Structure formats: C-alpha cells, structure tokens
Amino acid sequence: MRAVLWDLDGTLADSREFHWRSWRETMREAGVEISEAQFAASFGQRNDAILTTWLGSAATPDRIREIGDTKEALYREYIEREGITPLPGAAEWVKRLHAAGWRQAIASSAPRLNVQVMNRVLGFAGAIEAFVGAEDVARGKPEPDVFLAAASRLGVSPVQCIVVEDAQAGLEAARRAGMRCIGVGGGRLTGADIRIVSLAELPDDAFDRLVA
C-alpha cells in the first residue's frame, strides 16, 4: 500500500488570485482593509490564525467563524463561476498514479468543502480517494495532523506516504509525520527529498524511488 498526499493551493492548482479577491472583499465589508503583503504573509494558514492576526482584539470565535464562512463561500462562488485549471503536470501525475495503483488524498489547510469543490472543478474525481481539511484536525501545518489523518483515512502507513507541497510549513509537517516529501514551486524551500519548480519536470521514477 502506497499513497501520495497532495497539498492543494499552489501544488495542484494556483488559486491565489481567488483567495486574494475573496479575502479583500470580505474584509472590506467587515470594515478592515488588508494589503496584498498582509495576504501574502498569511497564505497557506488556517482562517483562525489569519483572522486572529488581522482582527486583533476583535477576533472573537464568533467573529472569526462569521468572516471565515463568508470568505470561503465567496471563494467557492468564484471557483464555480470562473473555473480553475491544474498546474502544469498536476493532472498528468494524478491520473498516472491512480492508474499505477497508488492511493491518493488531498490534505489541505483549506475547509473541506473548498477541497471537494476544487477537486470536482479540476476533474480529479475518482482518482483522489480522501479529503482532509482544516476542520478535520485540531492543529494546522507545520503540525503533522493533516497528513497523519489523510494516511489513516487511506489505510496506509506514514512511511509509505509521499507528501507533495509548495510551502515550508507543509514540508515541516511532512517531516514531523515521518513522511518523504516533494517540494514544488519557485520559493525558498528546505527539507524536501526532491525539489522541483514544476510537477511537469518531476522524473518518471520519482515516487517509486522515494518509497523504495
């Protein structure tokens, strides 16, 4: 039993602009202006962590839940209406791994409903077997909870799982979970077993080598 645990935003698809637009509009309605630099610093974190920073003393649990739910509903509306395409190499690898018998899950800091909507719009239905989102675990990345939960749902031992991530916090979470990992993207990433700019350049035997 072997598995690949995919991060979503920035790894399988580039949804950054949808997140930025939905956060900016939602926070403006809440009376708070955020800069793109503030948004960039928050990318990949859970909503409770993001809003605690942005709202300060006004960050009550009810307020965090209300604003977070509004933002995510707007985000899903954008995805459904405008569509989104997989990043280079992503769709090919998901289909190829599925055909080769690998189990696959998406393990994300995003709400589970977002993950499921994106999975459908991206066309991965049938290949991705499990979804773990923010509400499924007590602690977000860099804690290992989301990846351990995904491995458990697939019934695969952590040592037989490979994580694919584009963020340093995700790579650290994979390491803490005892999993090998592939770092994707142009940012500064450390600790990955394989480091690539795009999934399209990943060697054909990369996954097999990591669990050999």
Per the listing, tokens 């990318």 go with 43
9, 14, 69, 208: the active-site residue: 9
Separation of alpha carbons 206 and 209, rounded Å: 5
Between CA 114 and CA 159, with CA 128 as vertex, the angle to 5 degrees is 110
7, 193, 204, 205: the active-site residue: 7
Q: Indicate the DSSP class of residue 193.
A: S
Name, in order, each residue with C-beta under 8 angstroms of 210's C-beta and a sequence gap of 6 or more. 162, 180, 182, 193, 194
136 given a catalytic annotation: no
Q: Would you call 143 exposed, middle or buried from its count of C-beta atoms within 10 A (0-12, 13-18, 19+)?
A: middle
208 given a catalytic annotation: no
Q: Which residues, listed in sequence order, are joined to residue 5 by a DSSP beta bridge?
A: 105, 163
Separation of alpha carbons 200 and 196, rounded Å: 9
Catalytic residues: 7, 9
